[in-house]
Amino acid sequence: MSVQIAGRMPTATRLVTWLRERDPDLAATRRAARTAIVMPTLFALCSQALHSSTMASFAAFGSFSMLLLVDFSGPMVERLRAQTALAVAWAVLICVGTLVARQTWLAVATTLLVGFVVLFSGVVSSLLAGSTTALLLAFVLPVTTPVPPSQLFDRLAGAGLAAAAALPAVCLLWPRPVADTLSAPAARVCRAAAAHLRTDAAGLGGLGPVADAAQRRAAADRTADAGAELRRVFDTTPYRPTGLSTTSRAVVRLVDELTWVSIILADRPAPTDGPPACDPAARTARLVAADVLDHAADLLTDMCGDAGPLRTSMERLRAIIAGMEKTSTTRLPADPPIGDSPAEIYAFIATLDPSFRAQELGYAVLQIAGNVELAATAWQRPWPDRLLGREPAALTAPLALARERAAAHLGPRSVWLHNSLRGAVGLGIAVLLADLTGVQHSFWVLLGTLSVLRSNALNTGQRALRAVLGTVLGSFVGAGLLQLIGHHGTGLWFLLPLAILVAGIAPAAISFTAGQAAFTVTLVVLFNIGQNPDWHIALLRVQDIGLGCAVSIIVALFFWPRGATAAVHTALAEAYTDSARYLVDAVDFALAHCTSAKTLDEPVRQSREAAAAARRLDDAFRTYLAERGAKPLSMADMTTLVTGVAALRLAADAVVSLWRGCGPAPGDAAQTDAHRAVLGAASRVAQWYRGFAASLSRRAPSPDPVQLHPESAARLVGSVRTDLVDGGRQATATAVRIIWTRDHVDVARRLQPSLVAAAQGRGGH
């Protein structure tokens, strides 16, 4: 016996290893195992004990939907709230589908409306996006099987049993670990960036040993690698991984912010003849920012940890940055003369470069830390607040945020809007076709339509072929099993859990085709339990799935057949255009602030428009990555183009933050050459980004990057030395902020060569 066990163990180990490689964290296996226990149990209870085939069908498909098609994340209380909301939505959709099913025109019209609302609502939250198939199944089942209203109670009772069983199942049957997919990689970026900051700080201001080039390069590589991994995890999730809860919203903001920090740390301005003397506060700011990032990483690793150290280090960093703005004025003496050569002019501006870069990093780190603190505070809420959905103070109320996200995608170029309309039209045509043809089990037609309709005609056609192939294979297997089992119906009861288990695991572990085959076998077994075995039902499923696939292909050919490959370039163009406009408005707000306390209304509006364009780009990029086939640009190049949008938008955020709360400057600061020089530089940079956006949308050559303008820099320096000084001939805080504003604009300029290289397919090589 021991020899036999020893011989079997390697096979079992290899099976588990194989499964873990194809099903990370065994997510699909966990869902399938739960469903394989609950679904047959409920089907047996309703069909054998309660003798209601209607209840049995809705209990079976309800448990299939609520356990296999969804897997909510977050703390257990939030999962139970989501499961409860899904159950309520199922009840509503069953009622609607049952009431409209008997009139074809009404059923088609309602399917169009419900299909669009359910599919489009996914843009609001990843929770809704991940639930769309489960929600549509709740409507598809009743709308394709017209019955008298008297049977509505049995349908609701079956779905209610499924919901009642799903709640304890997600708690007790192999519960999902409480983890966030972004927290761990975000923590790694924080730690790598902290180490990078400490390496950069070594030797600044003549304090401590100077890190050699190899050490700095190694620290930069570790930060870049960690940032790339975070971006990969974020971009390759099927939906934008954010909900309406404060924790999820705060964590997802970290992706752009940590990407921006990585870009800042990798950025190096053009060297001057000699490095300027460093403000000691700039070195201290780097070290404290590193401490802040380490504390943020601690909280991301354990959201239940103490946020006190993070808050303390944040307050210290704020104080250092505020003090650095004051001490930086002493580094811009107005009296010593300088020459007119570009090297001398840029050397004067570079006097503030270490302090500017410390201020830039400090602002970015404080944004990161603020979001981590907010996420941890929301995570640590008492369970009654979690249960009732009470959130701590957030940037935007959930309902207002939902409206804002939905409104951002109501434009004609939104890929999400395209997919929602395409899906709704496909389902509507499928309902009409199923009614006109009078096929048996017509909901299979809609399932076929829903399962293969993708963002372009080519992908839809390929998936349709795989769906039909899988269905044919499953039909042969199912028919063979029925012939083998014959009239021994008890055997089907033992076969049902195994079929469900394989149907749940196969799509993730093997392929979509294998999943279709396993699902077909499951339905063949389910519909033959308690009946005389009929292998013809397998052939009917092939017919119905074929009709559904045909509908999908036709719809895909007529509705945006090119998919996201074309749309992603349009989304990039819009995002760069809106972000460039925001940068100019931010600079205009900053410099107008010199003479009057200009309101934030316009910059806030432009910020929202730029953020909305970035979200549309994010959704188009995900669809682009999910599409099969050759890509015109490499993954590295496309990622560079996408992250460039975030860097440009957050640079504008930094400009607004720099001047927010500052009172008007004395004199006519807004009329100085410094004002005009910085605004002119911002206009040139923004004009380049608009031209770059146009080249992306037209697939044309990119414009040449903007070069330095020594004449403009000379006017800026001259103005700072003559107009923006106090009575003691010392530069003012306004002068420092103007030069820092110019530096933010220059960061956006220095980003241009890497974007041109990426657009031409040379950035990833």
DSSP for 628-695?
A: -S--SS-HHHHHHHHHHHHHHHHHHHHHHHHHTTPPPPSSSGGGSHHHHHHHHHHHHHHHHHHHHHHH
Region for residue 488 given its phi and psi (left: phi exceeds 0; alpha: psi -120 to 50; beta: otherwise): beta
CA distance 85 to 91: 10
Per the structure block, which two tokens stand in for 343? 């090297």
Contact between 583 and 655 under an 8 Å Cβ cutoff? The reply is yes
Rounded to whole angstroms, how far apart are CA atoms 91 and 367?
A: 42
Pair 169, 206 in one domain = no
In a domain? residue 211: yes
Predicted confidence at residue 659, as pLDDT, reads 80
Please return the burial class of 628, using the count of CB atoms within 10 Å of its CB with bins 0-12, 13-18 and 19+: exposed
- Cβ-based burial of 325 (10 A; exposed 0-12, middle 13-18, buried ≥19): middle
Per the listing, tokens 């940055």 go with 321
Burial 689-725 (b: 16+ CB within 10 A, else e): bbbbbebbbeeeebbebbeebeebbbbbbbbbbebbb
Residue 403 domain-assigned?
Answer: no
Full DSSP string of 553-594: HHHHHHS-TTTHHHHHHHHHHHHHHHHHHHHHHHHHHHHHTT
Q: Name the amino acid, one letter, at 32.
A: A
Q: Are residues 115 and 245 in the same domain?
A: no
Is 765 within a domain? Answer: no
CB atoms within 10 A of CB 685: 25
Query: How far is 720 from 108, CA to CA, in rounded Å?
Result: 69
Please indicate, yes or no, whether residues 299 and 161 belong to a single structural domain of this protein: no
Give the total number of structural domains in the chain: 3
pLDDT at residue 156, rounded to an integer: 96
Query: Is residue 380 located within the same domain as residue 424?
Result: no
- Cα dihedral 687→689→694→695 (10° resolution): 120
Which residue type sits at 439? V
End-to-end CA separation in angstroms for the chain: 58
Tell me which of 531, 558, 585 is where a domain ends: 558
What pLDDT does 590 receive? 81
| 388 and 324 fall within a common domain | yes
Of 371, 395, 419, which residue sits at a domain end?
Answer: 395
Q: Rounded to whole angstroms, what are the CA distances from 591 to 46, 737, 745? A: 72, 9, 13
DSSP 8-class letter at 158: H
CB 138 within 8 A of CB 90: yes
SS (H, E, C) 399-441: HHHHHHHHHHCCCCCCHHHHHHHHHHHHHHHHHHHHHHHCCCC
Domain final residue pick, 534, 558, 582: 558
Question: What gap in Å lies between CA 19 and CA 39, rounded to an integer?
Answer: 23
Residue the block writes with tokens 């949308």: 697
**What is the reported pLDDT for 238?**
62
CA distance 172 to 191: 35
Determine the Cα–Cα distance for residues 325 and 642; give it in Å rounded to an integer. 32
Residue 356 lies in a domain: yes
Beta bridge mates, 333: 730
Q: Are the C-beta atoms of residues 262 and 193 closer than 8 Å to each other? A: yes
Per-residue confidence (pLDDT) for residue 637, from 0 to 100: 83
Residue linked to tokens 């930094």: 654
- φ and ψ of 333, to 5 deg: -65, 140
The span from the CA of 757 to the CA of 762, in Å, is 5
Instruction: Answer whether residue 764 is part of any domain.
Output: no
Domain check: are 192 and 341 in the same one? yes
Q: What is the pLDDT of residues 165-211, one digit of tens each?
A: 999 999 888 887 766 678 889 999 999 999 988 887 775 554 455 55
Specify whether 164 is located in the same domain as 43. Answer: yes
What is the secondary structure of 192-261 as a DSSP string? Answer: HHHHHHHHHHTTGGG-SPPP-HHHHHHHHHHHHHHHHHHHHHHHTSSS-S--SSHHHHHHHHHHHHHHHH
Residue 64 located in a structural domain: yes
106 and 213 fall within a common domain? no
What pLDDT is recorded for position 765? Answer: 43
Helix (H) or strand (E) holding 598: none
> CB 208: neighbour CB atoms within 10 A?
11
- Six token digits for residue 410: 């109501």
404 lies in some domain: no
User: So what's the pLDDT on residue 603?
Assistant: 79
Q: Which residue is it, tokens 């760069």?
A: 576
* Closest among 264, 336, 296, 250 to 725, alpha carbons compared: 336
Both tokens of residue 235? 């971009």
Dihedral in degrees, nearest 10, Cα atoms 751, 756, 758, 761: -160
Give dist(CA 217, CA 223) in Å, integer: 10
CATH of the domain at 328: 1.20.58
Helices (H) and strands (E) in the chain, counts: 30, 0
Altogether, the residues listed in the chain come to a count of: 765
369 and 462 share a domain? no
| Contacts of 756 by beta carbon, 8 Å cutoff, 6+ apart | 692, 702, 704, 705
User: Do 540 and 624 fall within a single domain?
Assistant: no
Give a yes or no: residue 19 inside a domain.
Answer: yes
**Low-confidence residues in the chain, pLDDT < 70:** 1-10, 12, 178-180, 203-213, 238-249, 267-279, 327-353, 381-399, 401, 439-441, 452-461, 486-489, 530-541, 560-564, 593-600, 626-632, 661-673, 709-732, 762-765
Could you give the 3-state DSSP secondary structure of residue 478? Answer: helix
Spatial contact of 326 and 733, defined as CB atoms under 8 Å apart = yes
Q: Are residues 573 and 464 in the same domain?
A: no
105 and 37 share a domain?
yes
Name the residue range of residue 582's domain: 566-759
Region of residue 277 (left: phi > 0; alpha: psi -120 to 50; beta: else): beta
CA–CA separation, 355 vs 58, rounded Å? Answer: 66
- Hey, how many other C-beta atoms are within 10 angstroms of the C-beta on 736? 26
Question: Residue 467: CB partners within 8 Å, gap ≥ 6?
Answer: 448, 451, 452, 512, 513, 516, 545, 549
> DSSP code of 101?
T
